[in-house]
Structure 1
Amino acid sequence: MNPYYAVVAERANHRCEYCHAPELVFNFPFEVEHIIPLSKQGADDESNLALACRSCNLRKGTRISGIEPDSNTEARFFHPRQDRWDEHFQANVESGTVTGITSIGKVTVEYLEINSPSQVAARQLWIRLGLFP
Structure 2
Amino acid sequence: MNPFYTLVADRAAHCCEYCHAPEMVFNFPFEVEHIVPISKGGANAEYNLALACRSCNLRKGTRSSGIDPESNTEARLFNPRQNEWKDHFQVETESATIKGKTIIGRVTIACLEMNSQTQIMARGLWIRLGLFS
Same fold, judged at TM 0.5 (above): yes
Structure 2 distance, partners of 1:107, 1:17, is 15
Residue identity opposite 1:33 in structure 2: E
Aligned counterpart, 2:108: 108
> Cα deviations across residues 40-84 of structure 1 (Å, max 9, x unaligned)?
000110000000000000000000000111111100000000000
Match of 1:3 in 2: 3
Find the residue that maps to 1:123 and give its secondary structure: helix
Shift, 1:10, TM fit: 0.1
Question: When the two structures are aligned, how many residues end up with a matched partner?
Answer: 133
Q: Which residue of 2 aligns with 1:80?
A: 80
Q: Distance in 2 between matches of 1:115 and 1:124?
A: 11
Give the residue type in structure 2 aligned to 1:77: L
Q: Give CA-to-partner distance per residue, 1:16-42, whole Å, 9 cap, x none.
A: 000000000000000000000000000
Structure 1 regions of 5+ residues with no counterpart?
none
The alpha carbon displacement at 1:117 in A equals 0.2
Q: TM-score, normalised by structure 2?
A: 0.99
Q: C-alpha displacement at 1:127, in angstroms?
A: 0.4
Deviations 1:65-122 (CA, angstroms, capped at 9, x unpaired):
0011111110000000000000000001111000011000000000100000000000
- Match of 2:44, SS? coil
Give the 4+ runs in structure 1 shifted more than 3 A.
none
Q: Which residues of structure 2 form unaligned runs of 5+? A: none
- Alignment pair present for 1:27 and 2:27: yes
SS of structure 2 residue aligned to 1:32: strand
**Structure 1 residues 89-108: aligned runs within 5 Å:** 89-108=89-108
Report percent identity of matched pairs: 69
In the alignment, is residue 51 of structure 1 matched against residue 51 of structure 2?
A: yes
Provide the aligned C-alpha RMSD in A. 0.4
Q: Secondary structure at the match of 1:15?
A: coil
